[in-house]
């Protein structure tokens, strides 16, 4: 059976980046067929290899975020390493990096020089705070960004502390923005036909800030920033998490007039439709405590299955709070290949999150999980660049590869 054509096959990417934000950009491109060469320091490697825990030689973060990439070791801070990097970039489409702004320039790596060698090159620079501005030289880890973006301020109970996410939220948005910007630049270069690359400046701070909604305008119009309100929403009601009689949790959204009408009928309280406290969305927002008390009592008297079955039958948006084990066992998730089994050259196949988004004509694929350091040194340095065995040995001895 032939392998389906992939959307980005033939696209060449060189990635000098660590951990999650910028490498996620490379992984998304690799999922859809781009050749992504991940460059690691020959001694330290990528810090992501040591995130969390490792069991039987498998680090889940590394195996997932580094999947589908080719692995080479190269110290680009050394002149010989810089020369090899420049050779790799001569015919590359995209160069992804996430060093602290100014670091590459300290090593003699400037976009202007790269563009002179390869005018088509698109350089994606991912950093905490961007390539300019007073904070540009500061380290920008996702935790800081999630705090500074306004996300933590908005997350949590009204009388509780600001809350940080357990996953790489800031990094993930930056990685998605970087991927989107790369495609914008490819379109400008190849479809519009300018033939020219460009430099793209992606900051984690702006990536997450831009996704939190029109908070600037809200602040301007009300005179105060949005505040924490738990699982409620400032825009509509009801919207909350409620506990069922079997100690499960369910999310409910009934904000539109038609949805609220169906909800009140479904729970056997059609009189709420005429209740001035709940007749409109603004009224429901003003009386949300009373509304949540009514819904919480009704839901608390039924099991999760009873609640979800009844409300889904009446087209009321409802969903159980699931953990990852629930999702893996869920028939819809299985039908959508939300979890797949990917080959791992270092051992047996590994289960991981599937490829998304779904493309009917040029689907993405998991070809292999993240590989060991220098797994593709021979292919890239010997076969691609034509370095001899003697040259490769000398470079190893000098700590360049």
Burial of 360 (0-12, 13-18, 19+ CB in 10 A): exposed
Quick: pLDDT tens for 326-368.
999 999 999 999 999 999 987 899 999 999 999 999 999 999 9
Instruction: Judge whether 7 lies within some domain.
Output: no
CATH number of residue 172's parent domain: 3.40.50.10540
- Pair 130, 201: CB distance under 8 Å: yes
Q: Write down the pLDDT at residue 4.
A: 75
**Residue 345, pLDDT score:** 82
In sequence order, the 6+-apart residues with CB closer than 8 A to the CB of 51 are 19, 59, 61, 62
Q: Which domain holds residue 45?
A: 12-211+334-397
Based on the fold, state whether residues 346 and 374 are members of the same structural domain: yes
pLDDT of residue 338: 98
- Reported as a pLDDT band with limits 50, 70 and 90, residue 255 is confident
What is the count of structural domains for the chain? 2
Which CA distances in Å does 7 have to 10, 67, 300?
A: 9, 17, 48
Which residues are catalytically annotated?
171
Q: Point out the domain boundary residue: 320, 355, 370.
A: 320
In a domain, 180, yes or no: yes
Residue 2, pLDDT score: 54
142 and 99, same domain (yes or no):
yes
The answer, yes or no, to whether residue 239 has pLDDT greater than 70, is yes
Q: Is the pLDDT of residue 113 over 60?
A: yes
* Residue-wise pLDDT tens digits, 19-56: 999 999 999 999 999 999 999 999 999 999 999 999 99
Residue 133: the pLDDT is: 97
What is the average per-residue pLDDT within 255-273?
A: 92
Per-residue pLDDT, averaged over 201-206, amounts to 98
Burial code of 223-238, b = ≥16 C-beta within 10 A, e = fewer?
A: eeebebeeebeeebbb
CA distances in angstroms from 369 to 24, 139, 194, 362, listed in the order given: 14, 29, 36, 20
pLDDT digits (tens, 9 = 90+) for 2-13: 567 899 999 999
Residue 379 and residue 74 in contact, taking contact as beta carbons nearer than 8 Å: no
Task: Report whether pLDDT(389) > 80.
Answer: yes
Mind listing the pLDDT tens digit for each residue in 175-191? 999 999 999 999 999 99
What confidence category does residue 85 fall into, taking pLDDT thresholds of 50, 70 and 90? very high
pLDDT tens digits for range 95-109: 999 999 999 999 999
Report yes or no on 186 lying in a domain. yes
Read off the CATH number of the domain in which 288 is found: 3.30.1540.10
Same domain, 304 and 346: no
Tell me the pLDDT of the chain averaged across its residues. 96
pLDDT value, residue 347: 86
| Domain match, 312 and 166 both | no
One domain for residues 282 and 350: no
Residue 1 predicted with pLDDT over 60: no
* 30 plus 113 within the same structural domain: yes
Question: pLDDT tens-digit profile of 121-135?
Answer: 999 999 999 999 999
pLDDT at site 346: 78
Q: Tell me how crowded residue 184 is: count the other CB atoms within 10 A of its CB.
A: 13
- Residue 361 shares a structural domain with residue 303: no
Same domain, 313 and 351: no
């Amino acid at each position: 059976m032939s392998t389906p054509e992939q959307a980005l096959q033939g696209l060449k990417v060189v990635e000098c980046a660590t951990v999650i934000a910028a490498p996620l950009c490379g992984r998304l491109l690799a999922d859809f067929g781009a050749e992504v060469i991940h460059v690691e320091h020959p001694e330290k490697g990528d810090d992501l290899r040591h995130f969390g825990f490792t069991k039987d030689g498998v680090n889940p973060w590394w195996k997932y975020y580094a999947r589908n990439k080719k692995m080479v070791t190269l110290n680009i801070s050394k002149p010989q390493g810089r020369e090899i990097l420049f050779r790799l970039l001569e015919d590359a489409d995209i160069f992804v990096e996430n060093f602290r702004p100014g670091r590459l320039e300290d090593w003699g790596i400037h976009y202007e020089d790269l563009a002179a060698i390869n005018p088509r090159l698109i350089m994606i620079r991912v950093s905490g705070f961007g390539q300019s501005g007073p904070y540009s030289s500061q380290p920008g880890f996702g935790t800081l960004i999630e705090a500074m973006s306004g996300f933590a301020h908005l997350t949590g109970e009204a009388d509780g502390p600001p809350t940080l996410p357990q996953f790489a939220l800031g990094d993930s948005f930056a990685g998605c923005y970087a991927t989107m910007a790369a495609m914008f630049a490819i379109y400008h270069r190849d479809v519009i036909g300018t033939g020219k690359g460009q430099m793209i400046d992606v900051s984690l701070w702006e990536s997450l800030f831009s996704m939190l909604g029109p908070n600037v305008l809200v602040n301007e119009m009300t005179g105060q920033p949005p505040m924490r309100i738990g699982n409620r929403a400032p825009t509509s009601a009801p919207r909350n998490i409620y506990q069922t009689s079997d100690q499960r949790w369910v999310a409910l959204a009934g904000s539109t007039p038609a949805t609220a009408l169906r909800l009140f009928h479904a729970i056997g309280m059609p009189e709420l439709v005429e209740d001035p406290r709940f007749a409109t969305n603004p009224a429901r927002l003003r009386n949300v405590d009373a509304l949540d008390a009514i819904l919480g009592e009704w839901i608390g008297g039924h099991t999760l299955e009873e609640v979800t079955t009844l409300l889904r039958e009446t087209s009321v948006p409802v969903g159980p709070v699931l953990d990852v084990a629930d999702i893996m066992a869920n028939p819809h998730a299985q039908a959508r290949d939300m979890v797949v089994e990917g080959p791992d050259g270092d051992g047996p196949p590994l289960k991981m999150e599937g490829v998304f988004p779904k493309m009917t004509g040029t689907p993405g694929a998991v070809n292999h999980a993240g590989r060991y350091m220098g797994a593709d040194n021979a292919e890239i340095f010997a076969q691609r660049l034509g370095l001899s065995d003697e040259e490769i040995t000398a470079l190893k001895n000098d700590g360049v590869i």
